[in-house]
């Protein structure tokens, strides 16, 4: 129960890694709010599962690029819970396209969701964190932003930008006792890597010391530690969990 009493907001929480993050945080005693873009069925399923486990949870259909909507959600959570202690910027998108086929709209969609969305949501929660002089922001990056691997250029660029955002923000808000971290997973059991051609998956596994992809639960448990008080002396760091690539 290392997150007992923590009030956590997870963006893009209805499916995949986001779902695992919400369930794991709740298991460790946190109150959990999550946003989702479109999938009402997945959001309702997660809400029901959290409720069945006795967790206090809230769901909001909201784009991370909606600044006014994000500010309203944060105010709503602060009114109900008193504060948001932890933000996890998990929402992200990608497209498996070579640069020759990328249009400007494709580039903008990925950059807006993966980078601008993290900025908008972080700015909204930071006001309260600064007042209280406490808080944690965890950005969910990717191995694609840390290594020279075969992946879509706009996705790699967005995840590399998250690392820079993490380091700059951590330096700026450290005087307010706020920690900012970046978690960069390798290939996982589903999500971004699910549409990879077989040869690319085989190449990844060939270079992975553990010889397998990771699971959502493994990454979620690591995230729970990173945002907890047990990890109080880490900030500005990127933690890579890739099985040893």
Is the sign of the CA dihedral 139, 125, 26, 224 positive or negative?
Answer: positive
Report the C-alpha gap between 11 and 90 in whole angstroms.
Answer: 5
Q: How far is CA 198 from CA 189, 194, 201, in A?
A: 14, 10, 5
Among 36, 155, 199, 204, the one annotated catalytic: 155
Whether residue 155 lies in the annotated active site: yes
φ and ψ of 57, to 5 deg: -140, 150
Report the C-alpha gap between 87 and 163 in whole angstroms.
Answer: 16
Q: How far is CA 116 from CA 79, 109, 208, in A?
A: 25, 10, 31
Which residues carry out catalysis?
155
């Amino acid at each position: 129960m290392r997150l007992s009493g923590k009030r956590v907001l997870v963006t893009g929480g209805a499916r995949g890694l986001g779902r695992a993050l919400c369930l794991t945080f709740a298991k460790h005693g946190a109150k959990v709010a999550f946003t989702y873009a479109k999938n009402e069925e997945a959001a309702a399923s997660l809400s029901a599962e959290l409720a069945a486990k006795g967790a206090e949870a809230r769901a909001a259909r909201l784009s991370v690029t909606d600044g006014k909507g994000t500010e309203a959600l944060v105010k709503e959570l602060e009114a109900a819970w008193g504060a948001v202690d932890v933000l996890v910027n998990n929402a992200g998108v990608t497209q498996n396209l070579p640069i020759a086929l990328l249009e400007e709209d494709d580039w903008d969609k990925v950059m807006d969701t993966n980078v601008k969305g993290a900025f908008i949501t972080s700015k909204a929660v930071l006001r309260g964190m600064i007042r209280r002089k406490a808080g944690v922001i965890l950005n969910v990056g990717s191995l694609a932003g840390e290594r020279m691997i075969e992946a879509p250029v706009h996705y790699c660029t967005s995840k590399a930008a998250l690392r820079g955002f993490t380091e700059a923000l951590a330096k700026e808000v450290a005087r307010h006792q706020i920690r900012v971290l970046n978690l960069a997973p390798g290939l996982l059991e589903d999500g971004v890597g699910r549409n990879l051609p077989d040869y690319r998956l085989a190449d990844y596994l060939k270079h992975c010391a553990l010889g397998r992809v990771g699971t959502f639960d493994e990454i979620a448990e690591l995230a729970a530690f990173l945002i907890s008080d047990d990890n109080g002396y880490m900030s500005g760091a990127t933690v890579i969990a890739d099985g040893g690539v």
